């Protein structure tokens, strides 16, 4: 008896620490967040441009306060998550979309803006030179490199923990506040080295650009791989869980389509995985007024889910009678 109870405790601990369960549509939401993070938008380019201008001005002024300001608006959390989640879910379009977006923001917008702005300032403003803040990222010693990787890895881990430690907050305002703070932490490792790479070229110092670029590459690897991806992998984010959520949703939708009186437009199917073999399914579906629905509808859907996925489920259905009147 005692041995059985110990095995149950071990299974519960394994589920708690190495799997994310009991959160509605969790893996689907992760995929949606990653797709949004991989999209290059005009707003992303503009915010990256503003961040690059601030970072360049702060580096040339030797002003840590201005550099920190550039980090606060840098929009690099989204593409970093796209790389991490796209890799874990083995989705090439998300992974490479996030990678291209990250490189575009850092090298094209970040380094390119720093180069152009520095060249213009050198030509028209006296006293523009290489400052200690630039040298800090242009000639890093072993201490700066090791600590830089530690900072980048920890920022990436924090970004993943925000999604997995309390998974239910990812769609709440509190979760968005956490994302804002973590985004600033991520930018610490990315925008300043990217700007220094452009500044070095403007000063005719390829050694500065090379060292800053290498520091940037190390930080990106620490952020995207060592920090973000590793934490989510340890927490149990797996592609098969995403596939199971989708398969359950498709099986429920297929069962609903067999009833001609039900309207699927405007309906919603939410899946909560309890384990790799158990799920809760909550369905909200609209019906015409006066239409009768079989009492065994939930049982029929649960049976189809089990037949198609092998997953046992508890199905609950909210039926909403609707009337439609149109003068179109």
Mean pLDDT by groups of 10 residues along the chain of 328 residues: 46 55 90 93 94 94 90 87 93 95 94 95 90 86 77 81 74 60 71 94 93 89 85 89 94 83 74 92 81 80 92 89 73
Each residue's pLDDT tens digit, 25-54: 999 999 999 999 999 999 999 999 999 999
Q: d(Cα 328, Cα 323) in Å, to the nearest integer?
A: 15
List the domain boundaries for the chain. Answer: 20-237, 241-322
**How many helical (H) and strand (E) elements, i.e. helices and strands, does the chain have?**
15, 3
What DSSP designation does 21 have? -
Return d(Cα 247, Cα 261) in angstroms, integer.
Answer: 23
As a whole number of angstroms, the distance between CA 136 and CA 32 comes to 38
Q: For 20-237, give the CATH class.
A: mainly alpha
CA 248/CA 310 separation, integer angstroms: 10
Contact between 67 and 55 under an 8 Å Cβ cutoff? The reply is yes
What is the reported pTM?
0.84
Q: Indicate the CATH number for domain 241-322.
A: 3.30.70.1350
Are 305 and 278 within 8 A, CB to CB? no
Q: What percent of the chain has pLDDT over 70?
A: 85
């Amino acid at each position: 008896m005692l041995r059985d109870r110990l095995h149950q405790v071990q299974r519960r601990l394994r589920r708690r620490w190495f799997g994310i369960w009991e959160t509605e549509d969790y893996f689907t939401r992760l995929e949606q967040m990653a797709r949004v993070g991989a999209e290059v938008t005009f707003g992303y380019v503009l915010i990256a441009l503003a961040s690059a201008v601030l970072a360049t001005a702060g580096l040339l002024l030797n002003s840590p306060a201005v550099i920190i300001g550039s980090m606060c608006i840098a929009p690099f959390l989204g593409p970093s998550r796209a790389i991490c989640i796209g890799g874990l879910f083995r989705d090439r379009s998300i992974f490479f979309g996030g990678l291209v977006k990250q490189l575009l923001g850092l090298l094209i917008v970040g380094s390119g803006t720093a180069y152009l702005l520095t060249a213009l300032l050198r030509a028209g403003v006296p006293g523009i030179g290489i400052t200690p803040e630039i040298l800090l990222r242009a000639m890093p010693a072993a201490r700066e490199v090791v600590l830089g990787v530690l900072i980048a890895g920890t920022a990436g881990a924090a970004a993943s923990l925000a999604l997995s430690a309390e998974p239910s907050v990812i769609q709440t305002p509190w979760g968005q506040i956490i994302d804002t703070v973590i985004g600033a932490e991520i930018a610490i490792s990315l925008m300043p080295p990217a700007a220094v790479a452009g500044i070095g070229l403007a000063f005719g110092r390829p050694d500065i650009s090379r060292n800053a670029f290498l520091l940037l590459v190390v930080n990106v690897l620490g952020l995207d791989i060592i920090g973000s991806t590793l934490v989510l992998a340890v927490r149990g984010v797996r592609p098969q869980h995403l596939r199971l959520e989708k398969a359950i949703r498709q099986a429920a939708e297929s069962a609903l389509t067999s009833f001609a009186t039900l309207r699927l437009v405007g309906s919603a199917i939410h899946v909560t995985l309890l384990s790799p073999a158990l799920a809760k399914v909550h369905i909200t579906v609209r019906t015409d007024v006066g239409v009768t629905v079989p009492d065994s509808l939930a049982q029929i859907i649960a049976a189809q889910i089990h037949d198609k996925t092998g997953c046992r489920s508890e199905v609950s259905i909210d039926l909403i009678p609707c009337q439609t009147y149109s003068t179109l």
